[in-house]
Amino acid sequence: MNFQVDDYNDVSYEINKGLSGKIIYAITSSTNGVIGLCVVLAVIGLSFVTVMDLVYVSLPIANQLIRKKGWDGSKKEKGLPISLVSKDAIKAVERAEELNAMGSGTTIIIQYLKLRTLTYIKVSIIIFILMYGVAPVVKVLKPIVYPIMDMLGLS
């Protein structure tokens, strides 16, 4: 077999650094804008759903109306294509009803806050990663994961 080495003599190695810098800046700015918009929409959506959850959890009349209309996601073919209340609120109501039936005396709000706190922690981690990238997360996890990988012989 004959292999030929192409020295790329016909390729210009002059790089227009000004133009490439502008392209990189445009791409980064656009990406940051899109990510920022996603973060803002996520925060607004989460706030709206939390307000609807509190109405669902605290007002029995609203609870019945939301269930009847299918706004809780139970009747997707009849109601809205999305749910106006979170699964946290639905689970909190169900769990509080079960615990009250057993005589526990727990409130729906306490059950909801327990579930919703976990959701807010997950969302804040996702927003942190979207805003700052994965570098800070890797920096924190690296000293934890590497020794475990060494112990398991995976390094």
Using a pLDDT cut of 90, give the percent of the chain over it: 10
153/92 Cα distance (integer angstroms): 44
Whole-Å CA distances, 25 to 19, 38, 72: 10, 20, 44
Q: What are the tens digits of pLDDT across the range 70-101?
A: 777 776 665 556 788 888 898 888 888 888 77
How high does pLDDT run on average in the chain? 81
What pLDDT score does 47 carry? 92
Q: Supply the DSSP symbol for 92.
A: H
